[in-house]
Chains A and B, each alone.
Chain A
């Protein structure tokens, strides 16, 4: 059962909420909280970015062509790769290859499985489903990936003595770095695990809220939310695992030595 009598949101309504936001910015300035510049910039960015996305989606929906949908997914993926790499402060050899491969494989496989086996999209590229679902999967996997990569690089740098001691005793580099790998994988999964545990109690997830607002029956929205959360967890786990497995190898030569020594 679906109700489609969605309340229209006109430009005047939009202007009203934006006015409220500007009022908050004004209050922040008046009270010298010092956040008004950041708030203003962020709100303008939001406005411009979302308007742009809205128009792009409109064009893609009306084009209804697989290449256009795939192009958008590719752009999303490239931005996610760039943002993940930018967040890693420590040195990680071959980071673009490691992060790019992990996000491409992890998000690609899970999005495909979900859209084909679970939802059974027809046509397979239906942009109304594929783009938002892939967006959620890629977005969450990006958070997991950057935590995995950042933590792995930090752990390997912090545990250098431990790893070299293990290497000197004849352990392989992967075995010697195992504690770092485990710590990185755990760190990557924490936000997703927390989100799953708190879901429905602490907050109502955005996708479910959106579906309910647009008239979907609540229990159907809940089923969608549960399945998207499961697939997000699978994707985060898969991309993080790929990052730590491939990433740990990138720190060592085939002779199980640390790559390049810099004094």
Chain B
């Protein structure tokens, strides 16, 4: 069952300077708790600030105001590289590094001078619906949907404690999307990983999320349990 929040975000604000020099508010004093072993879905229209929250959680950028804590300690107390490994982000548009699918899956390990742990690969490939026959194929030859799954597997293999997914099923057909998400939901419960799912698909969100947060114009306008919504 969900314990204390792994990540607590308080009063998070973020504005972006636009090309004309003016500033646009993306997030406005957002509070957020993310727990291990549960699925937290962020829903809302595009431009509501969903992807920005994920980028802040992965520290690809920093908030202008507010504080993020991981296990009760401020993000500032960790190195940004540690944050990014422990809080893994899968960007919506998958990027494949040159080389094979295997090269991509081993990418983070190789860059740290480590070997990919042997035992994990088959299980992760299964969760992400990555066919083992793809392993020696050039990654860039795969379809976008296949790349999206490889990209998910690549981040999962990095052993994150919190997994951030930005529209992870946007290029998948409905059956594959359901298969990946249901296996992923089981996986994060057995591995005790916190999952943050950004999607505009309300049906998908309410089906798999334990908590649902709705963002609008940079503010959280509604918090509810996923089950409540499914009962509607």
| Same assembly | yes
Instruction: List residues of chain A with CB under 8 Å of any chain B CB.
Output: 161-162, 164-172, 175, 255-258, 260-263
Known: A256-B81, A261-B17. A165 touches B95 (CB 8 A): yes
Q: How far is the CA of A172 from the CA of B80 in the complex (A)?
A: 9
Interface residues of B in 70-117 (CB under 8 A from A): 80-82, 84-85, 88-89, 91, 93, 95, 97, 107-108, 111-112
A169 B24 Cβ-Cβ under 8 A: no
Output the least CB separation between B74 and chain A (Å): 13
Which A residues are CB-close (under 8 A) to B217?
Answer: none
Which A residues are CB-close (under 8 A) to B80?
Answer: 255-257
A262 B84 Cβ-Cβ under 8 A: no
Complex partner residue of A168 from B19, B24, B62, B89, CB under 8 angstroms: B89
Q: How far is the CA of A260 from the CA of B21 in the complex (A)?
A: 12
Which B residues are CB-close (under 8 A) to A261?
Answer: 16-17, 61
Q: Which 8 A-B pairs have the closest CB atoms?
A: A170-B85, A165-B95, A169-B108, A170-B84, A255-B80, A168-B89, A263-B18, A161-B95
Complex partner residue of A171 from B58, B59, B82, B108, CB under 8 angstroms: B108
In the complex, which of the residues B19, B58, B82 has the most CB atoms of chain A within 10 Å of its own CB atom?
Answer: B58
A262 B18 Cβ-Cβ under 8 A: yes
20 intermolecular pairs with C-beta atoms under 8 Å apart: A165-B91, A165-B95, A166-B107, A166-B111, A167-B84, A168-B89, A169-B84, A169-B88, A169-B107, A169-B158, A170-B81, A170-B85, A172-B81, A255-B80, A256-B80, A256-B81, A257-B61, A261-B17, A261-B61, A262-B17
Number of B residues contacting the other chain (C-beta, 8 Å)?
29
Output the least CB separation between B101 and chain A (Å): 15
Nearest chain B residue, comparing its CB with the CB of A260? B17
Task: Annotate B153-173 by CB proximity to A: 1 below 8 A, 0 otherwise.
Answer: 011001000000000000000
B93 A161 Cβ-Cβ under 8 A: yes
Which B residues are CB-close (under 8 A) to A161?
Answer: 91, 93, 95
Q: How far is the CA of A256 from the CA of B78 in the complex (A)?
A: 13
Task: Annotate B38-75 by CB proximity to A: 1 below 8 A, 0 otherwise.
Answer: 00000000000000000000111110000000000000
Known: A168-B88, A255-B59. A263 touches B16 (CB 8 A): yes
Which B residues are CB-close (under 8 A) to A171?
Answer: 81, 108, 111
Which A residues are CB-close (under 8 A) to B154?
Answer: 169
Output the least CB separation between B168 and chain A (Å): 14
Nearest chain A residue, comparing its CB with the CB of B158? A169
Which A residues are CB-close (under 8 A) to B108?
Answer: 169-171
Output the least CB separation between B230 and chain A (Å): 31
B84 A257 Cβ-Cβ under 8 A: no
Output the least CB separation between B29 and chain A (Å): 20
B95 A175 Cβ-Cβ under 8 A: no
In the complex, which of the residues A164, A169, A261 has the most CB atoms of chain B within 10 Å of its own CB atom?
Answer: A169
B84 A168 Cβ-Cβ under 8 A: yes
Output the least CB separation between A93 and chain B (Å): 14
Nearest chain B residue, comparing its CB with the CB of A263? B18
- Add 19 more A-B contacts to A169-B107, A170-B84, A263-B17 (CB < 8 A): A161-B91, A161-B95, A162-B95, A164-B95, A165-B91, A165-B95, A165-B97, A165-B151, A166-B111, A168-B60, A168-B84, A168-B89, A171-B111, A175-B111, A255-B59, A255-B62, A262-B16, A263-B19, A263-B24
Complex partner residue of B155 from A162, A169, A172, A255, CB under 8 angstroms: A169
Which B residues are CB-close (under 8 A) to A175?
Answer: 111
A169 B85 Cβ-Cβ under 8 A: yes
Q: How far is the CA of A260 from the CA of B158 in the complex (A)?
A: 28
Which B residues are CB-close (under 8 A) to A168?
Answer: 58, 60, 84, 88-89, 91, 155
Which A residues are CB-close (under 8 A) to B155?
Answer: 168-169
Q: How far is the CA of A262 from the CA of B58 in the complex (A)?
A: 19
Output the least CB separation between A53 and chain B (Å): 43
Output the least CB separation between B28 and chain A (Å): 17
Which A residues are CB-close (under 8 A) to B59?
Answer: 255, 257
Nearest chain B residue, comparing its CB with the CB of A161? B95
Nearest chain A residue, comparing its CB with the CB of B54? A168
Which B residues are CB-close (under 8 A) to A172?
Answer: 81
